[in-house]
Amino acid sequence: MTNTSSARPAGGERYLIGVDVGTGSARAGLFDLTGRLLASGKRDITLFREAGSIVEQSSAEIWSAVCAAVREAVSAAGVDPAKVASIGFDATCSLVVLGDDGRSLPVGPSEDPQRDIIVWMDHRAVDQAERINAKGHDVLRYVGGRISPEMETPKLLWLSENRPHVFDAAWQFFDLADFLTWRATGDLARSTCTVTCKWTYLAHERRWDPDYFRAIGLGQLADEDFLRIGQHVVEPGTPVGNGLTDRAAEELGLAPGTPVGAGMIDAHAGGIGTVGVDGPPESNLAYVFGTSSCTMTSTSEPVFVPGVWGPYYSAMVPGMWLNEGGQSAAGAAIEQLLSFHPATGEALELAERRGVSLPVLLAELAAQKAQTLSGAVEVAGGLHVVPEFLGNRAPFADPHARAVVAGLGMERDLDNLVSLYVAGLCGIGYGLRQIIDTQASSGALIDQIVISGGAGQLDLVRQLLADATGKPVLATRSEEPVLLGAAILGSVAADQFPDVRSAMARLSGTDRTYAPAGGEIAALHALRYDAFKKLQSLAREIR
């Protein structure tokens, strides 16, 4: 799949490539030095699921998909590969396990060595996370007080306890973004973004805490002086190695030595691609709305917010502190919610006839029914949804939380499905509002929300989020801000811009602002938000 503009590149220009590896696909975007996307390429990647909460992927398949996507983007743009100034990578915060010479090791019961990645959403390490949290080590202050099973040290502990032969045989444990820069350059540098946010690296002190690893049962990593998880940690956008190796360049279809920037977690790349718009970074909350959602707030001084990850130093905007929240299921929660309804089959057939996706169809029907975007909340009627199908990431750090749907009747028609869809979106918005409120009470205040991600591209969704939170929602000029964020990292590594902030200011901008409604609509959202919190609390109580 390609996305090309009608403009042809000028002869003397230089170009930037951003690569984004999400949960379901690898994508590459080719940008000019104004931040305009010239072309993109995409390849799907396989998600392997096992009984329980095991979710795995293959690093070899992902690298192959990245190479194909990059070649497609460059070809579609009609650009000479020699004019590509740089490449930057972002990826999900998944754990890659490699043995000697970079060979893949099996991380689960399938015993398939190609399945060498424990995916971010894999929750096999819930017990390990709970035992780690019970120890109350000081480093947990920097993950909101509680570590998540989505992070890497619980997964490493699970691996050491359940597959010790694999743990012992591992040469390197990588976050996926760091795997990509290693595969591209041969350099083992880790990004402060990945190891600070997901591995408990203390970036503000530039060190690992060996006492933590020994306390939780991973003392072997500390005894090895952290050789297998990263001894050289650099800020995102730092040049990695000597650029692309000959092998990687041939696979990607680019020139050897092309500069590579230290990478980022995918949501954080979306933050880099958005928070520089319309005001200083600390004014903007980056909201990446995809399969899951991620919220990122930048502050000049550390702010400790219970249940919200961080504060992390230099994990997104260099030199600033980051608080990271979000919802473990967002776009995926809406998909799950709709799958239960008797009218979903009918809606899918109608969407296919119209040549649109199911969310696009339901958003169109909701807008028609409401007549105005802000009025769509009234379509939800008496339906209320707490969409925590995969737990609560923030502000409660509760992996055991589950969804609540209230107000269902005997209706089986398309109208009721539309109402359920709107109620689900409102639930996503109230979860976001709860994170914003919790952070504000601790001193991390924001003025506006800058949105990115595939699930947040519809006007109806953006307006509902603005109305549900009471904050303006800004859409960026770039239709692919996550890819742009990755490209920004490469651009800094190639000295196209002096630093990340300069690149952010030059390459990103606002396209449209969705102002929150006032009056009766705001009052209705306030009532529904109160109901959301009551249902959430009751679910916790009866559990």
Give CA–CA dist 361/347, Å, rounded: 8
Which fold does the domain 274-477+509-543 belong to in CATH? Nucleotidyltransferase; domain 5 (3.30.420)
* Angle (CA) 70 72 78, round 5°: 105
* Angle (CA) 178 182 188, round 5°: 85
Distant-in-sequence, close-in-space partners of 61: CB < 8 Å, separation ≥ 6: 45, 46, 114
Give CA–CA dist 63/359, Å, rounded: 30
Taking CB atoms within 8 Å and a gap of at least 24, the contacts of 336-339 are 336/389, 336/403, 337/385, 337/387, 337/389, 337/403, 337/405, 337/420, 337/421, 337/424, 338/362, 338/417, 338/420, 338/421, 338/424
- Domain ranges, ordered by start, for the chain: 15-264, 274-477+509-543
- Please report where in the chains the tokens 């249940």 appear, as a residue: 307
- Give per-residue pLDDT as tens, 92-106: 999 999 999 999 999
Q: β-strands 293-299, 284-289: how paired?
A: antiparallel
Tokens of 196: 């600070």
Give CA–CA dist 129/505, Å, rounded: 39
Domain 15-264: CATH superfamily is ATPase, nucleotide binding domain (3.30.420.40)
Can you give the pLDDT of all 543 residues of the chain as single tens digits?
334 333 344 446 899 999 999 999 999 999 999 999 999 999 999 999 988 789 999 999 999 999 999 999 999 999 999 999 999 999 999 999 999 999 999 999 999 999 999 999 999 999 999 999 999 999 999 988 899 999 999 999 999 999 999 999 999 999 999 999 999 999 999 999 999 999 999 999 999 999 999 999 999 999 999 999 999 999 999 999 999 999 999 999 999 999 999 999 998 998 999 888 877 889 999 998 988 899 999 999 999 998 899 999 999 998 999 999 999 899 999 999 999 999 999 999 999 999 999 999 999 999 999 989 999 999 999 999 999 999 999 999 898 999 999 999 999 999 999 999 999 999 999 999 999 999 999 999 999 999 988 889 899 999 999 999 999 999 988 889 999 999 999 999 999 999 999 999 899 888 899 999 999 999 999 999 999 999 999 999 999
Note the pTM of the prediction, 2 decimals. 0.87
